[in-house]
Amino acid sequence: MKSSAKKVELASVDDLFTTEQERQEADEERVVRIPLTQLHYFKGYPAMQTEVPFTGQPYRFKDDDPKMQETLDSVKKRGVRAPGLVRPDPDGGYEIISGHRRHRASELAGLEDMPVIIRDMTDEEAVIEMVDANIQREHISPMEKARALKMKNEAMKRSAGRRKGNGCQLDTHFPEAKTATQIGADVGESPKQIFRYIRLNELIPELQKKVESNTLKFNPAVELSYLTPDEQQSFLDYAEAQDCTPSLSQAQKLKAASKEGTLTLDKLEEIMSAQKPSVAPREPVLNINVSKVAQYFPTGCTKQQMENRILKILESYFRQMAHEQAHEEER
């Protein structure tokens, strides 16, 4: 008599790093333990090798990141409870599709292996799976989201293009709007917003880093992405020399000048040196704890009555000070 498979109860931290689809497929696919040395980061696929900087996967994490530390603590206490998802690498070992953080936590915890599900996937299937497994639950920067959405967009177009043909022939004319609409439905964004995120990939690397660090805001960054690389570099040089960042209005004017072919260095300086709309300064607010001054007023005195009395006392005080000062000067 076959024994029924034991149902493993996942820790709450593990739930953060595995999808419902992964958990269901784990019941159907065999989970194996693979040495950490045989697992490596997803390298991307040829169509994206020059598109995505740093690595083939768009998400980054640091060892001192709070979420990384949370995962590390969980792995030290209970090991890796939720298997990662990998695919065989023709060059040897396995590419991690989902579970990069669990893999790194295992390394930091001194483990030798981790549980994974091995699945054969095409490049496009791997990209879509990796993006979907992380983009909704990760606290990611706009640039990470931009890279992820571009990767998924390219993968979906290539996958759909092959399906239109004989399975091998690639149709490169699959409509961009269709993939953006589908991606938007998947991540809860409008197709227009998907396009705006993808536009960030047109920024030169130095400006992408500023978006990453939040020193360049999302909306102005989208407008700057329409500048040519040389124009972006000129803007960057000016912004760093003047220690300034563009408003949305300034970025839109730079984009318009670029489109008209009039974005010279003088024009750039004219736009960036224009005074930004002034914001009226807020009046200072003085807050006084009523309980500290109530003893100086009759019982039942309202807050407004207290305020009026204090103003009269101050007026009387400063009149007296002015009188004494004038009397002193006459001597």
Q: What global pTM score does this model have?
A: 0.58
CATH of the domain spanning 12-202, picked from 3.30.70.20, 3.90.1530.10, 3.30.870.10, 3.40.1190.10: 3.90.1530.10
Task: For residue 307, give the amino acid letter.
Answer: E
Distance of CA 313 to CAs 84, 249, 293, Å? 72, 49, 13
Across 260-282, average pLDDT:
81
Helices 176-187 and 191-199 cross at an angle (nearest 10°) of 100
Q: Quick check: helix, strand or coil at residue 32?
A: strand
- Residue 222 — pLDDT band, cuts 50, 70, 90? very high
Closest by CA position to 271, among listed 290, 252, 287 = 252
- What percent of the chain is modeled with pLDDT above 70? 73
Structure token digits, residue 94: 């396995």
pLDDT of residue 46: 38
Residue 71: pLDDT over 70: yes
First-to-last alpha carbon distance for the chain, in angstroms, is 115
* Location of each CATH 3.90.1530.10 domain in the chain: 12-202
User: What pLDDT, in 10s, does the model give residues 38-57?
Assistant: 998 876 543 333 333 334 55
- Residue 110 — pLDDT band, cuts 50, 70, 90? very high
More confident residue, 141 or 227: 227
Give the C-alpha separation, 276 to 271, whole Å.
10
Rounded to 10 degrees, what is the CA torsion of 251, 257, 260, 264?
-140
User: What pLDDT, in 10s, does the model give residues 188-200?
Assistant: 788 899 899 999 9
Q: Quick check: helix, strand or coil at residue 118?
A: strand
More confident residue, 78 or 139: 78
pLDDT of residue 77: 93
- Residue 128 — pLDDT band, cuts 50, 70, 90? confident
Window from 34-43, 52-61, 220-229 with minimum mean pLDDT: 52-61
Chain mean pLDDT for the chain: 79
pLDDT of residue 136: 63
Closest by CA position to 145, among listed 42, 230, 60 = 60
More confident residue, 149 or 236: 236
